Chain A
Amino acid sequence: MADTTQQGSNLGPTTDSEAAGVVDTSTASGKFNRFDNPWLNPKLLWGVGILLFIILMGMIGQFLWNTELVFTGSTPLRLPPVGFENLRGTPGVADYPLGTDGAGRDLLALLIVGTPNTLMIGAVASLIGMSTGIFLGFSAGFIGGRVDDVIRILSDVMITMPPLLILVVFQAAFGDVSLIMMAVLIAGFMWQSPTRLIRAQVLSMRESGYVKMAQLSGASTMHIMFREMMPNLVPYLFGSFIANVTTAIVTAVGLEVLGLGPQRIPTLGRVIYDAINSGALIQNLWWWWGLPTALLAIMFIALLLVNLGLDEVSNPRLRKL
């Protein structure tokens, strides 16, 4: 809910900041305002803050809480969170503060173990996709010709292909997969948009003055790529990375909710799958499906905030609102 007010308050001072902008230009060499640094915009800070909190929860939680409780039958069945009663009137106990599921697993332990797994799939898949995208995008933009044609057509083709369906075929054929394998598979669908983005940027940058200048002064292609062009692409790359993390997690959760993906490792999607399959919705076991859903929702909101914040960094016009 804090995010709502955050966004709301963001709009309030619209006119004030416009007024301040006028003042700023008149005192051109005036003192630095904290908000002058585009990287410190509130959306970005909030988003990164929430994400860090979730990651820390997973990292520290493993030492503070007994993660053995993720195994089936290690707790009583269907206990509600502390302060609630389930349909049979059993109150929650402090031993299992977030309640337990229908197979005797502690939800807090499931969340502590499952959240980092889910985030990791997203990060690894996006990282691999990103690196591939940078490589292909630069190659297409720089080498041009046939290479460009092939890469452009391939990324055009792959961008329309729904990742979920190819992955469903794959996992249905292969059965169980490991977390890393899943991340690599998803990464196969994460390189197209960075490739297109970088290719377009490289094509437009290649004609710009400073690149021409570097070429004339005999700089190597590598130098031009990584020292001249890359710094300008950083906000785009970050934005694209975060967008891809979101897509990768959505895809992973989708596969898990269909009952595919890693079978023995707890992930948030897997918890939701178990809950739906055991009729947790109808039996009013809201904590079982509700808590992982809420956690995922918070995660996605944080990722969206980061993405919006990065948009403002790379496109100053958006800061107006």
Chain B
Amino acid sequence: MSGAASSGIPREYILNRLITFVITVWLAATLIWIIPRLSPVDPAEVMLGRMAAGGAFVEGADQILEQLRERFGLNEPLWMQYLLYLRSIITFDFGLSAASFPTPVAALIWQALPWTLGLMLLSVIITFIIGNALGAFMVWERTPRVWKVVIPSLMIFTAIPPILSGLLLLYLLSIKMRQWTGGDFFFPLTGSYGLNVEPGFTLEFVNSVIYHGTLPALSIILVTFGFWTLGMRGLMITVQGEDYVNLAKAKGLRPRYVLYKYMVRNAILPQVTAFALKIGLLVSGQILVERIFSYNGMGKLLYDAILDQDFAVIQGVSFIIILMTAASVFIVDLIYPLIDPRIRQSTQGAA
């Protein structure tokens, strides 16, 4: 493997993927910019309305309105506004939050981002491993019969979006569990770490993070592993009939060796690309789970911003999440040729 890798990934393939990535980010940025301008609502007025609602009477409202318009650059010609916006968004300058004025939106996002990334990375890795393993065992002829009944019944969960499983788990493992165990053991209702724990690299803090993260992660894992299982099952069935698998068996190789080195090794490749198709939904699902659990990530930030009509934050969060999604698809696309030598050989990256 390592010897072949030195020949490198075809340049055309990388270029292709890079263009897709750049267009995605540009399109997202442009949509986020155009949409509010199609709306009949003036963002400066909405913001002022909020301030007025908070403090009853706003002195010199016209002046403030003018100032806000200036700040948003609404007095410039449209194309200038667009270019200024593109420049600021590339430097992650999303302006100031209206709800917690004058905190920059970027600062709020950098606070929330690690939580979202951590939760996502953890749940995606666990789901990928569990899902594919179950899918492979569903097809393997040596799997105990019990498992062949149990695994398909687990598939029922796949249908449910994480927001619903989150609600159910929250009710059962937090509220009901508290009643059943008399308050001895239950999972927390909200937050991403205990209120009386000082953030830092202490054992106490890490424990608290794990304790608070279990339910959100569980509610995502429970309902997403089935996607991989079903995909893997289909691929394994296809691989199962291949000549090289029959040859391997005929050679008398150990069944487990055939499973891992011949069947799974080949079936897993399209699963990696399936990731690119799924990630948009995964991200959306997690945003909603964070909202349900009031987890301190981007989901909660977004939800609070919607409640406060804090438009700058909504824009910033949406852009960053789309950027994250596009970047992870790009990374997967770059990793793919490393695990699938066929792409390295052919110059056409049609996969």
Contacts and interface: CB of A to CB of B under 8 A. Distances in A.
Contact of A260 (B156, B189, B287, B306): B306
Contacts of A166: 28, 31-32, 35, 318, 322
A250 B281 contact: yes
B175 interface: yes
Tier of interface size on chain A: 35 or more
B88 interface: no
B28 A4 contact: no
B325 A253 contact: no
Contact of B168 (A175, A250, A293, A303): A293
B233 A172 contact: no
B61 interface: no
A199 B302 CA distance: 36
Contacts of A10: 152
B280 A163 contact: yes
Contacts of B230: 308
Interface string A226-257: 00000000000000000000110011011001
Interface string B149-188: 1001101101111011001101100010000000000000
Nearest to B145: A11
Given A3-B156, A165-B321, A193-B277, A315 B234 contact: yes
A272 interface: yes
Nearest to B149: A8
Contacts of A54: none
Q: Which of A174, A175, A297 has the most chain B CB within a 10 Å cutoff?
A: A297
A168 B306 contact: yes
B167 A259 contact: no
Q: Which of B28, B164, B303 has the most chain A CB within a 10 Å cutoff?
A: B164
A144 interface: no
B41 interface: yes
A311 B231 CA distance: 11
B233 A168 contact: no
6 contacts: A8-B149, A162-B322, A246-B159, A300-B159, A300-B160, A308-B155
Interface of B: 19-20, 23-24, 27-28, 31-32, 35-36, 38-39, 41, 138-139, 148-149, 152-153, 155-156, 158-161, 163-164, 167-168, 170-171, 175, 189, 230, 233-234, 237-238, 241, 276-277, 279-281, 283-285, 287-288, 291-292, 302-303, 305-307, 309, 311, 314-315, 317-318, 321-322, 325-326, 329
Interface of A: 3-4, 7-8, 10-11, 14, 153, 156-166, 168-170, 172-175, 193, 246-247, 250-251, 253-254, 257-260, 272, 276, 281-282, 284, 286, 289-290, 293, 296-297, 300-301, 303-304, 308, 311, 315, 317-318, 320-321
